[in-house]
Amino acid sequence: MEELRKGIPLIGEKIPSLFVQTTHGMKKIPEDYQGKWIVLFSHPADFTPVCTTEFIAFAKRNNEFEKLNAQLIGLSIDQVFSHIKWVEWIKENIGIEIPFPIIADDMGKVATAFGMVHPEKGTNTVRAVFIIDPNATIRLMIYYPQEVGRQIDEVLRALKALQVADLNKVALPENWPNNELIQDKVIIPPPKDILEAEKRKKVAEGYDWWFTYKSL
């Protein structure tokens, strides 16, 4: 694995090539998932209650992520043996199979490079989520403290929104597609000159030339 810088990366940065041990064997990220979106998420530790609830929720929605051409990948600073035993425990005791790989970042290199290490919790990682596009570019980041579990449907919604925005060159409102103001409509990019602004007032649906929207 190439040398990684430390600290939280920026939206728009490309992720480095990562050669990692996972519960599905050695993987090279993003190369082994070429052409796919990647949802990389960290959890504080195996065999913890909040993390267990999150992994079950991710597993139950795995097919929905796959339909969006996305690969879920978990991570924590635990050894692969711990990951394997935890996955077995979840299947045996909860009846849920974890279908996605989990990175065993026991040296903490990946977590440190992505700013996942909790500053006050030793080697535990925060609950971070990175949505990475097929060009290996970070498109979204969400960080949670250890005490608050994630809302997995929001991760799924954000992935859908990014894909719709990319495909249609639009922006998406709060809580799309269930926005209180414009429902499932999408926001048209603002005009770039006065003439276009005047035209936009007359032909586009919206509140003003800078706030117009349409149905897809």
Residues acting as catalytic residues: 51
The two three-digit tokens of residue 27, written as one number: 């993987």
> Which residue is associated with the tokens 């809580």?
175
Work out the number of other CB atoms within 10 angstroms of the CB of residue 197: 14
- Whole-angstrom distance, CA of residue 62 vs CA of residue 37: 13
C-alpha distances in Å from residue 153, one per residue of 5, 8, 37? 31, 24, 17
DSSP class of 126? -
What is the rounded CA–CA span in Å between residue 213 and residue 189?
9
194 CB neighbour count, 10 Å cutoff: 9
